[in-house]
A and B are shown apart, each in its own frame.
Chain A
């Protein structure tokens, strides 16, 4: 018989009625589950760790202990009990989309009316802290808007330090002149949906073959010096086994591609059914698969638990691409404890990601040739600026696995009508639909 051990007391929601209820992280053998009970809808248990590594070592004492019942997510916006500042702020500029994916957190609606340019400018005016803010323009698919260049320009004029575009890449690939306009308006970098290097994967998750257009989008962005980070949603039996090839492709596209940002599938918005534990991909499993599928090119020790957010919400690895090799800059045994887990972590994280995801100004094909010794300080400094490469992940929470000890550390906020709401609280949807 497997011994059940409570390793942390926390709070969550009933996935059916979304009522706030106590929850526990329970260890059963190597695996860890989030267990909770609603008086109306019964008990729920969701796997959160499969045991490829030790969860307590990964969390490393970062958990808060609740003395009182928290107010999450009712008062999200943010309340005084929130433990992290804003690192990146997301602004939704449309609910429309030119795809119809089986998984969509925003649950796109092509009949919806977009916020006006004036309304968006008002939001930008309110959310931007001059010289600091990293704003993500998101949707839906933001490139369905013809006035996206004007929106980007407005964000820069109002003082946003970085403007990120979250896109599926279709318009960027089809319309090179549109990419040029975005670059001229001041776009900093693109987070581009990229689920795998086969069209069978794209057809399964996105309903059509997209590989060719994604490559064109990468090339069009490169033509105007816009860095692209690939963002795969990882789904079991679809592309979990493609992780190594996604990374291999991304590395081959450096410096056009700045990194890969993995998102293990979460069940909010539009999803094909209620999740089972078998379908879920835990963060430790993702790390294990990365190490296995890259044949050790990227190791567990190179991927550090999130410091800006809760460690169970993601990880980051920092590398330099040199020839065909990937040189790790982040190492657990060296960096552990060096990072700052207080509220300044959001600021540090913002500077770090922007440094890597944004291409240096004036970079051309010729300035990115590879012919040096990475131990030469001058070559290293040039190379890390042009060919820095990140491997990061964010494990979004849904009604099954949302854990308020994690939510309270969230630094990724959605701006909506004057409120900054932690991403997973904003998009939380009941399993009832």
Chain B
């Protein structure tokens, strides 16, 4: 929990990341979700946990059998 509360800072702009609506596409489908993002350059931080859970679930649902 402590780690989750830590501030995330953009390595390039040194700005604190803010939760912002972020669009992504996969196999021709577009989605959005809230992700930590640099307000300056727009770089997005995606945690490994998110990749392994929700994003891989989206992949599984969209990939052909």
Contact yes or no, A384 B30, CB < 8 A = no
B25-65 interface bits toward A, Cβ cutoff 8 Å, 1 = contact, 0 = none: 00111111100000000000000000000100110011111
The closest CB in chain B to the CB of A336 belongs to B64
| A377 x B32 contact (CB < 8 A) | yes
Q: Are A376 and B33 in contact (CB under 8 A)?
A: yes
Interface string of B4-44 (1 = CB under 8 A from A): 00000000000000000000000111111100000000000
- Could you tell me the distance between the alpha carbons of A308 and B57 in the complex, rounded to whole angstroms? 22
Instruction: Pick out which of these stretches binds chain B: A145-153, A326-334, A399-407.
Output: A326-334
Residues of B within 8 A of A375 (CB): 30-32
Q: How far is the CB of A351 from the nearest CB of chain B, in Å?
A: 7
Contact status A378-B27, CB under 8 Å: no
Q: Interface residues of A toward B: which range?
A: 20 to 34
Nearest Cβ on chain B to A361's Cβ, whole angstroms: 16
Q: In the bound complex, what is the Cα–Cα distance between A51 and B45 (angstroms)?
A: 51
Contact of A334 among B27, B30, B58 (CB under 8 A): B27
Inside 8 A of B30's CB, which chain A residues have their CB?
375
Q: Tell me the number of A-to-B contacts counted with CB atoms below 8 Å.
A: 50
Interface size for chain B: under 10, 10 to 19, 20 to 34, or 35 or more residues?
Answer: 10 to 19
> How far is it, in angstroms, between the C-alpha of A369 and the C-alpha of B30 when the chains are bound?
22
CB closest residue in chain B, given A331: B28
B58 lies within 8 A of A380 (CB): yes
Q: How close is B37's CB to chain A, nearest CB, in angstroms?
A: 15
B-side contacts of A329, CB under 8 Å: 29, 61-62
Q: How far is the CA of A180 from the CA of B29 in the complex (A)?
A: 39
Cα distance A304–B63 in the bound complex, in angstroms: 12
Cα of A157 to Cα of B33 in the assembled complex, Å: 41
Is residue A170 within 8 Å, beta carbon to beta carbon, of the partner chain?
no
Min distance, Cβ B62 to any Cβ of chain A, angstroms: 6
Using A377-B54, A380-B58, A381-B57 as known contacts, say yes or no to A339 and B31 having CB atoms under 8 A apart: no
| Smallest Cβ-Cβ distance to A330: which chain B residue | B64
A210 contacts B by Cβ under 8 Å: no
Interchain CB contact (< 8 A) of A304 among B54, B58, B64: B64
Q: Which A residues are CB-close (under 8 A) to B33?
A: 376-378
Assembly CA distance A388 to B60 (angstroms): 13
By the criterion CB–CB under 8 Å, are B64 and A335 in contact? yes
> In this complex, what residue of B is CB-closest to A352?
B65
**B27: A residues at CB distance < 8 A:** 334-335, 338
- Known interface pairs A376-B31, A377-B32, A377-B33; A339-B64 also in contact (CB < 8 Å): yes
The distance from the CB of B50 to the nearest CB of chain A, in whole angstroms, is 10
Q: Is A349 an interface residue (CB 8 A)?
A: yes
Residues of B within 8 A of A331 (CB): 28
Instruction: Say if the beta carbon of A316 comes within 8 Å of chain B.
Output: yes
Chain A positions 298-336 with a Cβ under 8 Å from a chain B Cβ: 304, 307-308, 316, 318, 329-331, 333-335
Asked if A348 CB lies within 8 Å of chain B CBs, one says yes
Query: Can you list 19 A-B contacts with CB-CB less than 8 angstroms, sorted by A residue number?
Result: A329-B29, A330-B64, A334-B27, A334-B28, A335-B63, A349-B65, A352-B65, A375-B30, A375-B31, A375-B32, A376-B32, A376-B33, A377-B54, A377-B58, A378-B54, A380-B61, A381-B54, A384-B61, A388-B61
Q: Which residues of A contact B (CB under 8 A)?
A: 304, 307-308, 316, 318, 329-331, 333-335, 338-339, 345, 348-349, 351-353, 375-378, 380-381, 384, 388
Q: Closest 6 A-B residue pairs measured CB to CB?
A: A352-B65, A335-B64, A377-B33, A339-B64, A377-B31, A334-B28
